[in-house]
Structure 1
Amino acid sequence: MTKIAKKRQMRARHPERNRKWFGIILFCLTVVALLAFVCRFAYVAIVGSVDSKNLAAYRDSQYARTVPLQAKRGSIIDRNGQAIAEDASTYTIYAVIDKHYTKAGKKLYVTNKAKTAAVLAKYLPLSKEKILAYLSPKQAAFQVEFGAAGTRLSLATRKEIEKAHLPGINFTDSPSRLYPNGVFASYTVGLTQANATDKNQPLVGVMGLEKEFNAQLAGTNGYQTAQVDNYGYRLPRAKVKTKAARNGGTVKTTLDSSLQSYLETLLSGVQTKYKQQSVTGVVMNAKTGEILAAGQRPTFDPGTMEGLGKGTSWQNMLTEDTYEPGSVMKVFNLAGAIQSGTFQPNTYYNSSMVRVAGTTIRDWNHVGFGEIPYSQALPRSSNVGMVHIVQQMGAANQAKTLKDFGFGQKTGITLPNEASGSYTLANPVTRAVMAYGQSVNVTQMQILQAASAIANKGTMVQPRIVSQVTAPSGKVTTYKRQVVGHPVSAATAKTVIAEMRDTINQPYGTGVTYKIAGVDLAAKTGTANVPNPKGGYLPGATNQLHSLLVLAPASDPEFIVYLTLKQNTAMTAPATTALNDIFHPLMTRLLALNSGAGASPASQMVTVPAVTNDGLTKASARLTEKMLAQALVGTGNRIVQQLPAAGTQALRGARVILLTNGAMTMPDVSGWSKSDVLKLAQLTGRKFKLQGEGYASAQSLKAGSLLGDDPVTVTFQKTD
C-alpha cells in the first residue's frame, strides 16, 4: 500500500514540473525573440536600410517637395533693342474652401465668402453672385476655380487681388510668349509652342528664329527642395536645397521695327486690294547684308495664331521656297557675259525669235522689238537677246557665273530649313531658257545675295537677319559682315548698274512705272510663268510671278529692295501697279532715312523710365520729359504696371500704356497702332480681336466700360 501511495504522489507532481519546463522554454523563446528584434533594430539603426532600401532616402522621398524654378525664355529684339518676342506669364486664380486646411491655427481657406466675392468681382468679369456660386459648390471640394474668367490673368491683376489679403485665394502661373507687334516678320521671327517632351522647358521654338536659336533662348530651369508636412508647408528647420534657374539669352536681329511695321502695312494693303496668292517684300542693306525688313502674305499673328490654321503653309517664302525667278536672272547672266568678255553692247540682233535645238524662243511680247543692239536687251527684258548673250558666253562661263553668284547653294542665313535651289546645264534648250530665269530654282535670299555683288562693286555679302546672340552663359556671339565671293569686277558691276538704270530711265525700259522723280534708281523687272505640278506651266496671265529688284541710290547703292507678287486672282490693274503700291512709298521712306532728312532711328530712341508705383501726376511728368505719349487703363490713382517695361528702348512719341490700381476699364484706343492694342491685351489679360490695317478707328467696348471676359473688337483703318 505504501508503494502504491508513493507512485500516486510522484504522478501528482508531474504537472507542476511540466508547467515549470513550459515556462522556462517560453521565457527562453521570448528572450531569443527579443534579442532578435533588438539585433534587427540595431542593424537597421546602424545600417539605415531595410530590404536594400535606404530609410533616410525613403523618408526624404515621402516628405521632400521639389518645386521647379522656371527659367525665363530669352527675348528677340530689333536692331534698336525693342522687343519683338519676349517672355510672359499668365495666371489662374483658385480658392481653397476646405475648412480643415489650416496651419498653426491659421485658416488657409476662404473664411468670408461674401467679402471675397465682392473683392474678386472688381477684377474678374464675373458678378458677385456668380463668384459666390463658385465658392459654394453643391458637392464637397478642397478648392474651386472660376472658369475661363479666372484664367489668363495679368501680373497686375494678380497683384491687385493679393493686396486684399483674402484667405484661401491662390494663383498658379503658366509661361507664355508675347509678340507685342502682332503680325511682324512672323515667319522670320517664328513661333513657340508648348513642349510636350521636356517639362523643364515648357516652350519650344518651332519656326523661324525661335527655332533656329531655341537652345540659346530656352534657358535652364532650377529647383528648390525642402521637407514639408502633409499640407505642403515647409517643416521647421528643414534644409532647403536650391539650384537657381538660368534664364535664356537674347537674339538681336537686324530688323528695324519702324520700317518693318511700314512694310507690313503696305503688303496687307496690296493683299487686300488685289487678292494675289502671295506677295513678299524684303529690304536689305546693300553694303552689310543686314535684312532691315522682311514680310510675306499670307501670314499670321504669332500671339493669337490667327492666320495659321489648317492647310496654311508653315514655310518661310524667303528662305524655304524655291521658284523660277524669271527676268530678274537676266541681271546676273548679263554680268557673267560682261565679266567673260563676250558681251557686245553695240552689235545688233533680230529680236523676233531664236531657234535652239529645234525649239523656237520668242520675246515676251511675242513679236520682238526689231533690230536692236544688245545694250537694250536688259532694259527691254528681251528674252531673245539674253539667249544670244548666254550662247555667246558659252556653257563653261554660264556654269561659272551661276556658281560664283551662289545659285544652287545655301546662303547660310541663320534661319531654319533654308533651301539650296537647283539648276542643270544638261542641254542647249535648258541653258537657253535659263538666260531669262526659267529651268532654274532659286530662293529670295540667293537673289539678294547675288544682287549685293552688283551693288558693292563686285563684292558679294551674305544676307544677315541676326547681328548678335547672347547665350544664357553670357557668351556673346556677333554676326558681322561676311564677304562670300567676288563673282565680278567693279567695272562689270558698274556696267550692269548702267543697264539697270536704263530699265527705269529709258522710254523703252520695262521699269519706267517705278521711276521716282529726282531719284537715281537701278532696277530689273521680272515676269515668270508658274510651273504646273503635272508638267509644263500653268496657263493664263493670272498664273505668273511678277517681281521687282531695285538698287538705290544707283550711284552708290545703300539698299536692295526685292518684291514678288504671285498668281493674281482678282487683278483689276496691271501687276506693275500692284507692286508700285508697295515700292513707291517704301522707297520714299528708305531714301528719306538715308538722306538725313529726318533723325535716324537710333537718335529717336529714348529709355523708358520706371513709373510703377508712382502717382498719376508724377508718372505723367516723367514720361512727358522723355517725349513719350501715355495711356491710362483703369480708374486708380497709382501705376501698378507699364508697357514698354522700364529700361527698354522706345521711339520718341511712342505710347507707354499704364495700368492703374483701380477697376480695369476700357480706354479710348482711337488712333492706336496694333502694337499698342496688343500691349493693352498683355497688361489686362483680356482678349482683343483686331480687324483691318492702319490705326484704330472703332472699338466694340465703349471707353470707360469694365473689361469683361468677352473679346473686344478693335477696327483699324489706313490714314492718308
Structure 2
Amino acid sequence: MGSPLKRSKERSLLVGLILTLCLAAIIFRLLWIQTVESDELLNQAQKNWENSNQIIKAKRGTIYDRTGTNALAWEVPAYYFVADPKQIKDVKKTAKLLSPILQIPEHTLIEKLSQNKPFVQLKVGGQYKYPKEVYDEILKLKDQDQLQGIYGYRTTDRHYNGNQLAHVLGFLNHNDQPVGGVESYYNEKWLKGKDGIIKYKKAKDGMMISDGPEKFQPPEPGKDLVLTIDLSIQKHVEEVLDRFLKSHPAKGATAIVADPRNGEILAMASRPAFDPRSATSTYTQENGHNMAVQSQFEPGSTFKIVTLAAAINEKLFDPNETFESGTIRVDDQVIRDWQPEGWGTISYREGVYKSSNVAFVHLAGKLGAERFMKYIERFGFGKMSDKFGKKTGIDLPAEEKGVFYNRIPYRSEIASAAFGQGISVTPIQQVQAVCAIANGGVIYKPHLLKEVWKTEKEKLIERVNPEGERIIEQETAKKVRELLRGAVKFGTGQEADLPGYRVAGKTGTAQKPDPNGGGYLKDKYIVSFIGFAPADSPDVVVYVAFDEPTNAYGSTSGGTIAAPAARDILKKVLQIRKVPQKKEEGFDLK
C-alpha cells in the first residue's frame, strides 16, 4: 500500500483525466454538431420554433343610411374563448363557472372540456363572440385562480340597428360570411377589406424568438357604404306593414318607396322578416325571402299602367271615346270585367278609373301584338317571347326576372297581359316602370348604393350618378299621371287619397295560379297598390302588396287593403321629405 500522499495524487490524476476526457468529448461533440450534423439540427430547431403566420383581420366597412350619420351595420370589439383541456384540473367546476357567463349548457361545456385536444373553441351554433364585459368577468375569475386553461382572444362582431332593413342588409353568419342583402352583394368589392398578416419565429410556448416579425403586412379596412335608404322613412314603412298585418294577416307583404327622379330606393321592407342580430339561429328560407325582389306573381291591374302609357304614346288613346263594358271575346276566350255585368257604355277615361279589363283589351288590340310587346320590353320587363323576363339590376342578390311564354304569345294571351294576367313580374320591376311615368318618361335602374367612402368617412371614393333612358314622351307621362290621379280620386284607388297631396296610382287584385295545373286557386289573391304623389310633380313612388291577406269583413282587394296602407305610408313620407300641400287640383280630371 502506498502512502496517503501518493494515493491522493493518483485520485487527483484520475479525476483530472476523467475531466479532460469529458471536456474532449464535449469539444468533439460541438465540432461534430457544427460540421457534420449542423444542417439536420438546424432543421429540427426550426421545426421546434415553428413559423407563425398570424392573420390580422381587416375591419369591415360600416353601412350608413343616406344621411351618412345613421349607422345600419358596423363593427364592435368582441372576444372569443378557447380552452386547453390539459390545463384544466376540475372540468365540472370549470363548466359550472363558465355556463352562466357564456350562456352554454353545463353538459355541453363538460363534453368540450373533456376532449383530448390542445385547444377547443367554446361555442355552440353561431354563438361564440362576446362583449368585453364577458371577457372581463372571465379574466377576473382567472386572476382569482378559479379558472385554468381558458383563453380569450380579441375579434370583432357585426352589429345592426335593430331588426330593421333585414332583407336589404343581410347579415354575417357564424363564420363571418355574408348572407343576403348588401352585405353579400358588396362584400368582395367594398365591404370585406383585405386581411393583414404577421409572420415570426416562436417557441412552443408561444414566445417570439426573433427581435421582430419576419413579415408584417397591415390589414386594409373595408370601405364604408352610404345607402339611398332613409332610416326615418324605413321605420315608418315597417310600422305600417306590421300594423296592417295585424288587422289583415297575410302569408307575406312588401312595401317599396323610391325616388322616381333617379331610381334611389328610400325604403324597402318584406314580411315575414328575421332579426340580423340573431339571424344565425333564426334565419329561415321563409323569413329570408325578400318579396320585393324575389317574388314573381301576376301583377293584375297595376300592369294596366304600361298598356295605358303605350296606347297614349302611340296616339291611340282618346279619353272620350266609348266602348261597351262587361265582356269581350278574343278568339276562344271570353274576358270579363271585375264587375261581370260591367257599367254599360262608358268612355275610356271612365274605363281607366273603373279599372275595366275590357277597356285595356281594346287598347292592346289597337296597339297590336308587336307594338304592345315592344313597350313591355321598353318598360324594363323583358321580351314576352322569352321564357323569363329581365332583371332590373338592383344591387341585391337573388333578384328574379319574371316569367313569360318562351314563344310568340297568342292573341288571347296578349289580351290577358294587357290587364296583368297570364304573366309574372316582380314588385321591383313594377316600381322601375312606374317611376318612369312619375318622372316624365325616363327609366332608371333602381339602386341602393349612394356613396362609397374610405374607412371612417375619411374620403369620398365613388358617388352613384345614375343615367336614365327616355322610353316615352313627357306629354305621354303627364297624361298617364292625370288618368291615374282620376283613378284615385274617382275610381278603385280612393282609399289611397290624401287631401292636399293629390295621390295618383292604380290598385291590383290578382288571383294566384294553381301550381299543380291550369286555372287559379280559389280565394287566393295578391293585392297591391302602386302610385305616387304629388300627382302633377311626383316626389316619391310607393308600392305595397299583400300575399293572401284575410279580412274580417270578407273583402280582400287592392282598394281595401293595399291602397290604405300606401296612403298611410305616403302621408308620413311626404311630411318627412317636406313636400308642401296644395289645395287646388293640378289636373283637369273631367
2:208 aligned with 1:234: yes
Change in Cα spacing, 1:238 to 1:339, as seen in structure 2 (3 Å) is closer
- Which residue does the alignment assign to 1:153? 130
1:238-249 residue pairs with structure 2 within 5 A? 239-249=213-223
2:391 aligned with 1:410: yes
- Which residue does the alignment assign to 2:159? 178
Q: Which deviates more from structure 2 when the two are superposed, residues 214-223 or residues 445-454?
A: 214-223
Per-residue deviation, residues 329-348 of structure 1 (Å, max 9, x unmatched):
11110110011111122111
Q: Contact 1:362/1:383 (CA < 8 Å) preserved in 2?
A: yes
2:61 aligned with 1:84: no
Change in Cα spacing, 1:482 to 1:572, as seen in structure 2 (3 Å) is farther
Structure 2: runs of 5+ lacking an equivalent:
1-26, 383-389, 582-590
Separation in 2, partners of 1:579, 1:549? 9
Q: Which residue, 378, 400, 419 being the options, matches 1:419?
A: 400
- Report the number of matched residues: 524
- Which residue does the alignment assign to 2:187? 214
Q: Secondary structure at the match of 1:355?
A: strand
Q: Contact 1:466/1:479 (CA < 8 Å) preserved in 2?
A: yes
- Which residue does the alignment assign to 2:474? 490
Q: Which deviates more from structure 2 when the two are superposed, residues 380-389 or residues 343-352?
A: 343-352
1:79-478 residue pairs with structure 2 within 5 A? 79-81=66-68, 82-92=70-80, 124=101, 152-159=129-136, 166=143, 170-173=151-154, 175-182=156-163, 184-195=164-175, 203-215=176-188, 216-235=190-209, 237=211, 239-305=213-279, 308=282, 312=286, 314-408=288-382, 409-424=390-405, 425-470=408-453, 476-478=461-463
Structure 1: runs of 5+ lacking an equivalent:
1-33, 102-108, 196-202, 599-720
Q: Contact 2:56/2:218 (CA < 8 Å) preserved in 1?
A: yes
Q: Which residue, 474, 491, 495 being the options, matches 1:513?
A: 495
Change in Cα spacing, 1:594 to 1:312, as seen in structure 2 (3 Å) is closer
- Which residue does the alignment assign to 1:7? none
Separation in 2, partners of 1:214, 1:144? 30
Per-residue deviation, residues 397-451 of structure 1 (Å, max 9, x unmatched):
2022111111122211111222222434521000000110012221212111111
Change in Cα spacing, 1:466 to 1:94, as seen in structure 2 (3 Å) is closer
- Which residue does the alignment assign to 1:540? 522
* Aligned AA (2:423): V
Change in Cα spacing, 1:595 to 1:540, as seen in structure 2 (3 Å) is same
Per-residue deviation, residues 507-530 of structure 1 (Å, max 9, x unmatched):
xx1111222222211111111111
* Aligned AA (1:335): A
Change in Cα spacing, 1:141 to 1:403, as seen in structure 2 (3 Å) is closer
Q: Which residue, 531, 544, 554 being the options, matches 1:550?
A: 531
How far the C-alpha of 1:69 sits from its partner, in A, is: 1.3
Identity %: 28
- Which residue does the alignment assign to 1:69? 56
Per-residue deviation, residues 108-154 of structure 1 (Å, max 9, x unmatched):
x99xxx9x99xx99x9499xxx9xx99xx999999999998x96431
Separation in 2, partners of 1:187, 1:545? 20
Q: Which deviates more from structure 2 when the two are superposed, residues 278-287 or residues 76-85?
A: 76-85
Q: Secondary structure at the match of 2:548?
A: strand
Change in Cα spacing, 1:572 to 1:179, as seen in structure 2 (3 Å) is farther
- Which residue does the alignment assign to 2:585? none
- Which residue does the alignment assign to 1:525? 507
Separation in 2, partners of 1:511, 1:290? 25
1:584-599 residue pairs with structure 2 within 5 A? 584-595=567-578
Change in Cα spacing, 1:317 to 1:228, as seen in structure 2 (3 Å) is same
Q: Contact 1:410/1:418 (CA < 8 Å) preserved in 2?
A: yes
Separation in 2, partners of 1:456, 1:141? 65
- Which residue does the alignment assign to 1:715? none
Q: Secondary structure at the match of 2:508?
A: strand
2:464 aligned with 1:479: yes
Q: Secondary structure at the match of 1:262?
A: helix
Q: Contact 2:61/2:222 (CA < 8 Å) preserved in 1?
A: yes
Per-residue deviation, residues 644-700 of structure 1 (Å, max 9, x unmatched):
xxxxxxxxxxxxxxxxxxxxxxxxxxxxxxxxxxxxxxxxxxxxxxxxxxxxxxxxx
Separation in 1, partners of 2:115, 2:464? 61
Separation in 2, partners of 1:461, 1:188? 19
Q: Contact 1:249/1:474 (CA < 8 Å) preserved in 2?
A: no
Q: Secondary structure at the match of 1:540?
A: strand
By relative contact order (CA 8 Å, sep 6+), the higher-ranking structure is 2
TM-score (norm 1): 0.65
Change in Cα spacing, 1:306 to 1:279, as seen in structure 2 (3 Å) is farther
Separation in 1, partners of 2:432, 2:120? 59
Per-residue deviation, residues 267-298 of structure 1 (Å, max 9, x unmatched):
12222332111111000012121101000111
Q: CA RMSD in A?
A: 3.9
Change in Cα spacing, 1:143 to 1:446, as seen in structure 2 (3 Å) is closer
How far the C-alpha of 1:174 sits from its partner, in A, is: 5.0
Q: Secondary structure at the match of 1:441?
A: coil
- Which residue does the alignment assign to 1:709? none
Q: Contact 2:507/2:563 (CA < 8 Å) preserved in 1?
A: no
TM-score (norm 2): 0.79
- Which residue does the alignment assign to 1:567? 548
Separation in 1, partners of 2:28, 2:210? 36
Separation in 1, partners of 2:430, 2:253? 16
Q: Secondary structure at the match of 1:389?
A: helix
